[in-house]
Amino acid sequence: MKPIKRLPSADWQTDDLHELWAEASAESLGTEFVAIHAFLDYCRLLQDVRDSFLVQDRQSPFDRVFFFLRGGYFAFAYLNMTFELLDRAVIFGGLNHGGQPVDRLKDYLRKLASAARDQGKRRLRLLLIDEVKSGTGMGRALNIIEGVLREDEWRDAIDCDLTFYAIRPGQKMTSELEGAAKRWSGARRNRAPGLSIAIAHFAGHLPGYDDDRRCGIKRTSDNRDPQKNYDLVKHATGKVRFVCNRAKPRIAFAQLERQCLVEFLSNLAVWLTNKPTGSIISSIQFGVESRGCEHCRQCFTEVRKRSSATSGFQFG
């Protein structure tokens, strides 16, 4: 499997992780065991996000796609390798601590609205993608955006159709998240007249949730700092072994060379969920069919079945 290309791939409104890559020191991964059931559920989740994005973006293209570190990085890595978002992808630091990420988001929205007005456009179409649990972070991001659109300069000048992809770990939705989604969904006529919000929910296994190594990003600043700073978790060598959750045999293994684990998993997910053929696909398929349990085979078949319709995608 080819490593991902390290090219300028987004508008980084925080530390550019691709620039940090050259500075990051590499450590050995050793051997990482990945449960194949969970990983295939992660692939299924990514396919759900991919299919929703594909339909909505074809119907009416998004002007920008916002991601937030750290939680949204896995979705950026996957979607950018699948669709080449390039100049439409914008990555911000996390909003829950420090003032700079909030200021960056506000300033970016004002510039975006100003550019739209100068071009004679009245309506913006935005997509936000982030990991959620209780809905607090989602509410914070939406509150900031609504606040900008309520400002006198934009209140009657710019309309905004905003879609939020709320991706949660596990299938169960908390009552807090359900309540937050209800409060924010729909037209905001009494707050920002031109703002309409649609929230799409996605659920499944997230391998990097609250895990620096599997997320691939660690925060180097603390909560008192005015801005967030990040570093990459880069591995010089290591092995990834996929094992069956029930029978525990080794399904397949791969060698990791100078990659973040999250990027390796996202790259592998791109192959499994989009590519028609490939050596890594054959290796995992052989392991699933010869050593996996019935659930392994069902999950793999479903993921591969949904990949057949995507063979026309363009890859970077």
Distance CA 282, CA 44 (A): 18
Q: Is residue 300 in a domain?
A: no
Q: What is the pLDDT along the chain (316 residues), one digit of tens a residue?
A: 444 444 446 788 877 766 766 677 777 778 888 899 999 999 999 999 999 999 999 999 999 999 988 778 888 888 888 887 878 999 888 887 566 889 999 999 999 999 999 999 999 999 999 999 888 889 999 999 999 999 999 988 999 999 999 999 988 899 999 999 999 999 876 677 889 999 999 999 988 766 666 666 766 666 566 666 666 677 767 788 899 978 777 888 887 766 677 777 878 888 889 877 778 888 899 999 999 999 999 999 999 988 854 433 333 3
- The pLDDT value given to residue 219: 67
Q: Is residue 210 in a domain?
A: no
Residue 156 belongs to a domain with what CATH number?
3.40.50
Q: Is residue 215 in a domain?
A: no
Q: Is residue 156 in a domain?
A: yes
Q: Is residue 316 in a domain?
A: no
Q: Please give the tally of structural domains in the chain.
A: 1
Domain region containing 184: 44-204
